[in-house]
Structure 1
């Protein structure tokens, strides 16, 4: 939704980070995702919720074309608030809405100092998912004290689920990884969600895989699509875990090349607000992301929320804050994927024992 209001070089930088050719392509992708959401809205087996909302400063004039685009393509609704005189209550309002959209898994996305008198727009995105495995793990087969080999060589103890059944399986020689999909139950035939696990083979580190993925941007999508996959009997082992994390993404996005958006002298969001209506213009002050995931014997539940906080440029001060064994007993990637449309909703990695069930 930021790209929809960006112009010139800043637009190119955002599109490059998103690996998109144009704002039109982004809008088409957004509409496709929203159609999938509407398809599974009445699915009794899978709960999938996607919500977008803009919080704008009262009396601050945003372009009607921009508002129409985010309403039509992203199904975003728009709420007017008083950041200047009531920022504390605005934070409570936004956090309350995020909690509601994520089944209370994401709480306190924003803190009091994230919103100031100079804030003019906050773009919020929420996603929630809950699914049950087609092939469930039996709790009595879960090893309550299994070894997990961390990247630093340390061995920690985890709860390791296990089953011996046929799953979709593939290997990728470029990355030297094993890939499998755990399918979720669904009432629908044209939408299928899976939990994809990408496991580096022994002797290959997650860092090595990341470096190869960085040099070949399309490789992750190919891997998640399981090119050459077939049904194989697996001795499948997967940690039972919970993860919760919160990040400020400014530095990450700048390192990826999205530089101008955070620079008050270079930001160009005139697709959102005209120079005539606000000569100072808008720039991004913070991008905050929070995520949660719970993976257990029955299935998984996950949620994430992102807030893009936009201030008037003149008020902005940059802030930086510092029988085939598939045994997932070492760092690995996981992702939620809708396989028919090959839509990737998130990618994350499991690194160490801090995310385990207690």
Structure 2
């Protein structure tokens, strides 16, 4: 749960983040391939743009981002969570946001103050300059330890560009209990509509938070990173080809509800190693979530950012993850305090087997603030 001393604003924003994660996953999850994105990163940069929006643009953004229309609550909630995320000492977590606005579009002072609270720069840039994309890309590469090199492709910026929103998140954490390389070996994995493949699969046996969620017909496990604050939550369908059904039913049960049902159990975990880079333009998904005016020449209202007319041209997103025996490295261009349940058994219960040998969903979340930093699915670890 969110710590009791957190404000209503933080709780509202973290609930909104859970819902937005589910909405964005649904929009990006067409087809069968691997998927990886940072809902926190996407939501936080758009929430900052929302603070500079007005009229119908603001109404659409609040609804689409699952945030309160009260901008003060949104500003306070994000600002507090961003501060809290800076304090996770046992892992490396960097969150950075920046809004680039066309040169001579003076940014209003009030908006600059909001940007500061979001630990974001808001700066003017000459988009005609051929080096503009390179400057933005090298800023992102710096934040993400070189894992995300080119968020903005050649030719994406030009004389017509008025505003670009860029977000970057980098996470690197070691598992609280590491997988021993000694036990890693090729094991069968069953991708959808393809022959079985041998994939390097890790093994660990330990006490973990675990649950069986019948609404999703799935096993769920929480694998904590060092410090036990940030964890990977894995949803594994019971059926080999059960992922599409799980995705359909995700709206029936929130991540927080899943976590509230978990208990400590001895689990034998088999998890494939995987590495993935994922890139997506978000304009289509955001339009489908009802945020249409912000992209429109005539209807966009960002009067809180600049006196001149502004619209959003593009929202670029690129993400990287690597999961191995030591832990996880993840980048994107975003506390539950558990005590073991008292045992009522005189003899220990039989161990539970959690065998991720077929497509599964995963989330990396901060249990203190409930922010969902990353979300994705593995359909084929070798892709």
Normalising by structure 1, what TM-score?
A: 0.84
- Cα displacement string for residues 275-329 of structure 1 (whole angstroms, at most 9, x for unaligned residues): xxx2xx22222111000000000101000009xxxxxxxxxxxxxxxx2111111
Q: How many aligned residue pairs are there?
A: 319
CA displacement, residues 224-271 of structure 1 (integer Å, 9 cap, x when unaligned): xx1221111111011101010111111111122222222223222222
Rounded Cα–Cα distance in structure 2 between residues aligned with 1:38 and 1:7 = 30
1:94, distance to aligned residue in structure 2 (A): 0.6
Report the CA distance between 1:54 and its aligned residue: 2.3
Give the 3 Å change call, closer, same or farther, for CA 174–24 of structure 1 in structure 2.
farther
1:161·1:239 contact (CA, 8 Å) conserved in 2?
yes
Partner in structure 2 of residue 222 of structure 1 = 257
CA separation of 1:152/1:29 partners in 2, compared to 1, >3 Å: closer, same or farther?
farther
Could you list the runs of 5+ residues in structure 1 that have no partner in the other structure?
307-322
- Is 1:21 matched with 2:65? no
Deviation, structure 1 residue 91: 0.8
Is residue 190–residue 240 contact of structure 2 (8 Å, CA) maintained in 1? no
- Tell me the distance in 2 between the aligned counterparts of 1:265 and 1:212: 38
Deviations 1:180-215 (A, max 9, x none): 1111113xxxx711111111122662221222224x
Distance 1:28 1:95 in 2: 29
Q: Which residue of 2 aligns with 1:134?
A: 176
| Structure 2 counterpart of 1:59 | 104
Instruction: Please identify which structure carries the higher strand content.
Output: 1
Which residue pairs with 1:320 in the alignment? none
> In structure 1, what is the Cα distance between the partners aligned to 2:206 and 2:171?
25
Whole-Å Cα distance in 1 between the matches of residues 352 and 147 of structure 2? 35
Gaps of 5+ in 2: 1-47, 335-350
Q: CA RMSD in A?
A: 1.9
CA drift at 1:55? 2.2
- Structure scoring higher RCO (CA < 8 A, sep ≥ 6) equals 2
User: C-alpha displacement at 1:63, in angstroms?
Assistant: 2.1
Does residue 247 (structure 1) correspond to residue 280 (structure 2)? The answer is yes
Change (3 A) 1:301 1:249: same
1:193 aligns with 2:230: yes
State the TM-score, normalized to the length of structure 2: 0.79
Partners of 2:362 and 2:161 lie apart in 1 by 35
Please point out which of 227, 238, 247 is paired with 1:210. Answer: 247
4+ residue segments displaced more than 3 Å: none
Shift of 1:107: 0.5
Counterpart among 191, 195, 199 of residue 158 in structure 1: 199
Alignment partner for residue 3 of structure 1, among 38, 43, 50?
Answer: 50
8 Å Cα contact 2:201-2:272 kept in structure 1: yes
